Chains A and B, each alone.
Chain A
Amino acid sequence: MRRAAALLLLLAGCSSSAPSRPQADPAMAEAMDLGRSAFGLARFDQSQTQYETAYRRALLSNDAAGLHDSAYDLAVARLAREDAKGALVALDRARADLALRGTHDLPDFDVVEAAAFYRLGDYGRAFDLAARRTDQGGLLGERAVFLTGMAADGLGRGDVLARCVGRLGDAPRTPLVERADHAELAARLHLRAGEASEALTQAVAASERRRAAGEYRGMARALRLAAQAARAGGQPGVAASYERIAAQSEAAQRK
């Protein structure tokens, strides 16, 4: 009997994990999987195409959860393609479609919209959208805090930026992305306080962490921040080097 129980436990340990949510429409599930895989392979155009297909399938099957997921992924894919306006359009359309189906509170949409407005230089709207979602738990809340800090820096609100830095962890066991966010916000805070060397250190740390996490766009942004800090610290040569490295990375992303 004990042997049988041990065998069952062994089989249970060997079993694969179940998907988080069963998909009713196989075509939509396939499009979502393909979109995620394409996104992971940095094929953002194909990813966008697959998420648009998934959104159409969700409309076809009147799947509100599918609409929510596919619209979120579609907006993120468009952001990755440097199409912030397209992301906003996709989210607006999805908001209307979900409101038709009784879903109104969409915190993840707010966070993606905040990122899109930040990219378009509308720091005010980015701040408003992100700041009201900072109390969300998990990674979404962390992204909201980071975006709030970035928008606050754009608006020149150092006090809010300092609070955001305090809310993001920097412990060694903290996830790498969160540590990178903390370093970038800290660098901005130091730069705003006129502490150029500390800002440079934090910005370089942020770029290293972004590179390690595979977030190359954020890495280039952190390198430009490092260039700003170096220039503020009277190191124009170092600043020029960081600027050039950032420009090369951005040019390679565009190709």
Chain B
Amino acid sequence: MLRLRHRETQAPLLRVRYADELVGALVLACLALFIAAVVEAGVLHEWLTPAARLRLILPESGIAGLAVGNDVELMGTRIGAIRAVHLNQNSQIYAVADIDPQFKNFIRQDSTATIKRRFVVAGASYIDLSRGKGEKMDWEFAELPAKPEPNPADMITHMLAEMQKSIVPVMKNAEAMTADLKSVVAGLKAGHGTVGRLLVDDTLIRQADATVAQLNEVIQALKPMEAQVAGVVKKADGAMGNVRIISGDLRKMTPTARETMAHLDTASAELPGLLVQAQATADSLKKLSDQLRGLWILGGKGQHGESRRLPEQAVTP
């Protein structure tokens, strides 16, 4: 039988007189330490700072699978989430996104918002914001238009359609060309046209053979003249050599000829004056003869001195 020993009368090992107060102080100290750690870690700051709100005007064609809770990314970093999707009075769909305030400076008025899918064509949609460099956003009413990323599948389909449009006419042309070629070959086989006759009738070939044979005979006949032609060419070569020598002489004479031409030019420029001088000399001779004729001793009446000025009678209205 188990017998419990009750030691009611045993004295306490340690008697703490102010145990309750000490425990309370310890709890308060832990609480203060926790608050200090929270403040130090900035968690409180984050809690107290409200998130920036960005309105994204969604395209009229649809919201491309965007839903509440989808991510908002900037430069590959998640900076917020879609908080709500609304329809405004102008029947425009817009999404409200909460943005981490520390990224507000990267989102400017020239930033673009693109609705993408996580795995190109599948997966959850998200908003990819580009870093802006323009004017700062008015965060009281921040708004950006959002465009869906072109769907690669649509692009491939469109490209295939375009290729089909281009290839079909080419194929039709190829068919027509093949038909034409077929008719041409048929015509050739039937001996139509010059080429057809060449293929079918060998008369022309035989004539060509005969012509070649005649040409051979002509060439054989010309061979004796070859030596004469060589002599003529040699003489022509000599003549060309003479011409070259003459041209060399001419080149040497060119400076002299140029000088002569310059002299001729100078002389010809002086010719009018010379002519006038000659005329003036003749005029002077005439005057001399007049003067001689006017001499008293020769029976003339004498004359007075003459001014160099032109006579007043020359001034005519």
Contact = CB atoms under 8 A, between A and B. Distances in A.
Interface stretch (A155-163, A213-221, A235-243): A213-221
Interface stretch (A98-106, A138-146, A165-173, A223-231): A138-146
A138 B273 CA distance: 34
Q: Taking chain A's interface residues, is the majority helix, strand, or loop, or is none over half, making it mixed?
A: helix
B223 interface: no
A38 B315 contact: no
A13 B302 contact: yes
B276 A43 contact: yes
6 contacts: A34-B273, A34-B276, A38-B276, A77-B310, A112-B315, A142-B312
A143 B28 CA distance: 138
A40 interface: yes
Interface of A: 10, 13-14, 16-21, 23, 29, 32-34, 36-41, 43, 46, 49-50, 69, 72-73, 76-77, 79-80, 108, 111-112, 114-115, 118-119, 126, 138-140, 142-143, 146-147, 150, 177, 213, 215, 217-218, 221
A74 to B, nearest CB: 10
Contacts of B173: none
A165 B313 CA distance: 17
B247 interface: no
A218 B310 contact: no
A143 B316 CA distance: 8
Given A40-B283, A217-B316, A73 B276 contact: no
A-B CB proximity, top 8 nearest: A37-B280, A139-B312, A17-B305, A118-B317, A13-B296, A32-B308, A37-B283, A177-B313
B296 A73 contact: no
Nearest to B312: A139
A111 B309 contact: no
Interface in B3-26: none
A79 B280 contact: no
Interface residues of B, number: 28
B224 to A, nearest CB: 72
Nearest to A210: B316
A108 to B, nearest CB: 8
A48 to B, nearest CB: 11
Contact of B297 (A10, A43, A115, A119): A10
Interface string B284-317: 1000000100011100001111111111111111
Nearest to A111: B315
A34 B277 contact: yes
B279 interface: yes
Given A16-B291, A36-B310, A41-B283, A215 B316 contact: yes
Nearest to B283: A37
Contacts of A76: 310, 314-315
Contacts of B291: 16-17
B62 interface: no
B272 interface: yes
Contacts of A14: 295-297
Contacts of B280: 33-34, 37-38
B310 A39 contact: yes
A113 to B, nearest CB: 10
Contacts of A16: 291
Nearest to B302: A13
A9 to B, nearest CB: 10
Contacts of A142: 312
Given A10-B297, A13-B302, A36 B308 contact: yes
A114 B276 CA distance: 30
Contacts of A17: 291, 303-306
